[in-house]
C-alpha cells in the first residue's frame, strides 16, 4: 500500500471506530445518568433508542444518496452532525436543570449523523482499493469496528470519571478531526453516478423480497435479535455492577468489555472459518442462537460476580458466532446489483435491535431478573426456530 493511500485508509478506519462509540461508550455511564437526571431504567435506555432509531431509518437513504451524489459529500456533513449532536447533549447536561429532553434531541441528531456512515466508508474503501488490496482493506476496516467495540466501554468509564456527561463532548473531539481528514485527505475516485430514481430503487427492493423474502427476513431477524439481547443485557449489567457488586469506574469499563471482546474475537474467527466453509453458515446461526438461549436460561442462577461474568462471556461468544454467517447469507442472497439494498436494510434492522433492547429490558427487569432472562431466551429460541425453518445457504452470486 502506497504512503498516500495508507494515509487515506487510516482516516477512513476512524469512521467505523467513532460510530461504534455512539452507543457502547455510554453504557458504563448509565447508572450516573440515571442518578443525575432522576431517571428510571426504561428512560435511561431511551438514550440508546433515540440514537439508534434515526440511524436505522436513515441508512437506506444514505446509500441511495451516496450513489447519486458521491460518498464524501454525504460522509463529511454526517460526521459533523454526529459530533454536533454530542455537543448538544453535553451542553444540555452542563447548563439545564432538566437536561433529559434536550439530551435526547442531541442523541437524535447524532443518530441522523451516524445513519449509514460506516456503510459509506466501506463503499468508499471499495472505490479506492482494487482486487486483493480491497479485501485486506475491508478486513482492516471491520477490525477497526471491532476495536471500537472493545475500547468503547473502557473509554466511556474512563472519561466519565471527570464528570458523567464528559463522554458527550468527546464525540466532537474525536469526530471533527476525522471529518476534516476525510474531506482533505481522502481522494474519491471518479465513477459514474447512479441515475436510478427513488421509485426504481423501491421497485428493485420489492423485487428482491418477492424472490428472497423468507431467507432475508429470517436472517435479518437473527441479526437483530442477538444485538437486541446484547445491548439489553449490557445496559442492565452496567447498573447492577455498581448496585450489587460495587464495581465502579475504570474497573467497571474493563468488566463490561469482557462480553464485547468475546463477541468481536468470535466474529473474527467465525468469519475466517466460514469464508472457507460457507455451507456451515445456517448451522452456525442455529448453534449461536440455541447457545444464547441456554446461557440466558442459566445465567439467573448465578449471583456471584465471577460465574455471572463467565456466562456473559459465553453469551458474547454465541452472539459473535451468529453475526458473520448472517452477513454472508444476506450478501450472498442476491446478485451484485441488488446487494447494496439488502445490506443497507440489514444495517437498519441491526440498529432497530440495538434501539429497543435497553428500554425493553428496563421494563422487563421491573418484574424480576428471571422474567427478563426467560423473555430474552424466548426471543433467541424463536430466532433459532425461524432460522432452522426458513434460512437456506445461498449459492455463490457474482
How do residues 20-49 score in pLDDT, each as one tens digit?
Answer: 899 999 999 999 999 999 999 999 999 999
Start-to-end CA span in the chain (Å): 26
**Is pLDDT of 4 > 70?**
no
Residue 194 pLDDT: 57
Query: Which one, of 255, 256, 51, 43, lies nearest residue 168 by Cα?
Result: 51
125 or 233, greater pLDDT: 233
Q: Name the grid cell of 109.
A: 441528531
pLDDT confidence of residue 398: 43
**In whole angstroms, what is the distance from residue 313 CA to residue 310 CA?**
5
CATH number of 1-185: 1.20.1250.20
Query: Cα–Cα distance between 280 and 252 in angstroms, integer?
Result: 36
Q: Which residue has the higher pLDDT, 81 or 148?
A: 81
Cell of 136: 485486506
Cell (9 digits) for 183: 474531506
Rounded mean pLDDT, 172-180 = 95
pLDDT of residue 1: 58
Closest CA to 321 of 372, 361, 370, 280: 280
Measure the CA–CA gap between 345 and 34, rounded to whole angstroms: 33
Whole-number Å distance between alpha carbons of 199 and 193: 17
Euclidean distance between CA atoms 162 and 170, whole angstroms: 12
Annotated domain spans of the chain? 1-185, 196-398
Mean pLDDT of the chain: 88
Q: What is the pTM of this model?
A: 0.88
> What pLDDT, on the 0 to 100 scale, is given for residue 397?
44
Q: Record the cell numbers describing residue 374, joined without a space.
A: 426467560
| pLDDT per residue as tens digits for the range 327-357 | 888 877 776 556 667 777 888 898 999 999 9
CATH 1.20.1250.20 fits 196-398, yes or no: yes
- What per-residue confidence (pLDDT) applies to 93? 97
Q: Whole-angstrom Cα distance, residue 77 to residue 60?
A: 17
How sure is the predictor about 59, in pLDDT bands with cuts at 50, 70 and 90?
confident
Question: Given this chain, do its domains 1-185 and 196-398 carry the same CATH topology?
Answer: yes
3-state secondary structure the chain: CCHHHHHHHHHHHHHHHHHHHHHHCCHHHHHHHHHHCCCCHHHHHHHHHHHHHHHHHHHHHHHHHHHHHCCHHHHHHHHHHHHHHHHHHHHHHHHCCCCHHHHHHHHHHHHHHHCCHHHHHHHHHHHHCCHHHHHHHHHHHHHHHHHHHHHHHHHHHHHCCCCCCHHHHHHHHHHHHHHHHHHHHCCCCCCCCCCCCHHHHHHHHHHHHHHHHHHHHHHHHHHHHHHHHHHHHHHHHHHHHHHCCCCCHHHHHHHHHHHHHHHHHHHHHHHHHHHHCHHHHHHHHHHHHHHHHHHHHHHHHCCCHHHHHHHHHHHHHHHHHHHHHHHHHHHHCCCHHHHHHHHHHHHHHHHHHHHHHHHHHHHHHHHCHHHHHHHHHHHHHHHHHHHHHHCCCCCCCC
| Centroid of chain to Cα 117 | 12
Structure confidence at residue 134 as a pLDDT band (50, 70, 90): low
- Residues 237 and 249: their CA atoms lie apart, in Å, by 14
For residues 96, 97, 100 and 106, what is the CA-based torsion angle, rounded to 10 degrees? 0
Amino acid at each position: 500500500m502506497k504512503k498516500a493511500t495508507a494515509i487515506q485508509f487510516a482516516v477512513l478506519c476512524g469512521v467505523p471506530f467513532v460510530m461504534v462509540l455512539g452507543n457502547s461508550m455510554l453504557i458504563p455511564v448509565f447508572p450516573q445518568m440515571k442518578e443525575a437526571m432522576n431517571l428510571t431504567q426504561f428512560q435511561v435506555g431511551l438514550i440508546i433508542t433515540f440514537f439508534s432509531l434515526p440511524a436505522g431509518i436513515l441508512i437506506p437513504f444514505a446509500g441511495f444518496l451516496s450513489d447519486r451524489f458521491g460518498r464524501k459529500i454525504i460522509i463529511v456533513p454526517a460526521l459533523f452532525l454526529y459530533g454536533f449532536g454530542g455537543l448538544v447533549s453535553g451542553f444540555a447536561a452542563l447548563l439545564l436543570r432538566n437536561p433529559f429532553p434536550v439530551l435526547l434531541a442531541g442523541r437524535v441528531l447524532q443518530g441522523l449523523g451516524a445513519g449509514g456512515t460506516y456503510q459509506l466508508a466501506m463503499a468508499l474503501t471499495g472505490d479506492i482499493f482494487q482486487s486483493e488490496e480491497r479485501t485486506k482493506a475491508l478486513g482492516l476496516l471491520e477490525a477497526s469496528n471491532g476495536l471500537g467495540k472493545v475500547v468503547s466501554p473502557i473509554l466511556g468509564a474512563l472519561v466519565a470519571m471527570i464528570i458523567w456527561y464528559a463522554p458527550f463532548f468527546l464525540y466532537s473531539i474525536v469526530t471533527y478531526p476525522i471529518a476534516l481528514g476525510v474531506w482533505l485527505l481522502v481522494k474519491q475516485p471518479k465513477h459514474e453516478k447512479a441515475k436510478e430514481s427513488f421509485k426504481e430503487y423501491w421497485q428493485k427492493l420489492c423485487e428482491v423480497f418477492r424472490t428472497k423474502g423468507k431467507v432475508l427476513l429470517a436472517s435479518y431477524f437473527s441479526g437483530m435479535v442477538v444485538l437486541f439481547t446484547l445491548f439489553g443485557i449490557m445496559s442492565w449489567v452496567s447498573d447492577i455492577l455498581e448496585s450489587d457488586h460495587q464495581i465502579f469506574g475504570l474497573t467497571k469499563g474493563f468488566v463490561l468489555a469482557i462480553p464485547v471482546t468475546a463477541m468481536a474475537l468470535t466474529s473474527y474467527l467465525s468469519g475466517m472459518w466460514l469464508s472457507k466453509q460457507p455451507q456451515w453458515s445456517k448451522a452456525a446461526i442455529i448453534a449461536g442462537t440455541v447457545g444464547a438461549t441456554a446461557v440466558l436460561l442459566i445465567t439467573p442462577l448465578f449471583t456471584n460476580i465471577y460465574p455471572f461474568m463467565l456466562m456473559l462471556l459465553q453469551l458474547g461468544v454465541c452472539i459473535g458466532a451468529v453475526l458473520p454467517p448472517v452477513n454472508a447469507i444476506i450478501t450472498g442472497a442476491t446478485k451484485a446489483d441488488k446487494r447494496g439494498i439488502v445490506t443497507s436494510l440489514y444495517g437498519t434492522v441491526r440498529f432497530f435491535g440495538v434501539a429497543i433492547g435497553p428500554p425493553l429490558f428496563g421494563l422487563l427487569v421491573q418484574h424480576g431478573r428471571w422474567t427478563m432472562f426467560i423473555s430474552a431466551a424466548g426471543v433467541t429460541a424463536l430466532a433459532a426456530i425461524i432460522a432452522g425453518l426458513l434460512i437456506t445457504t445461498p449459492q455463490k452470486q457474482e
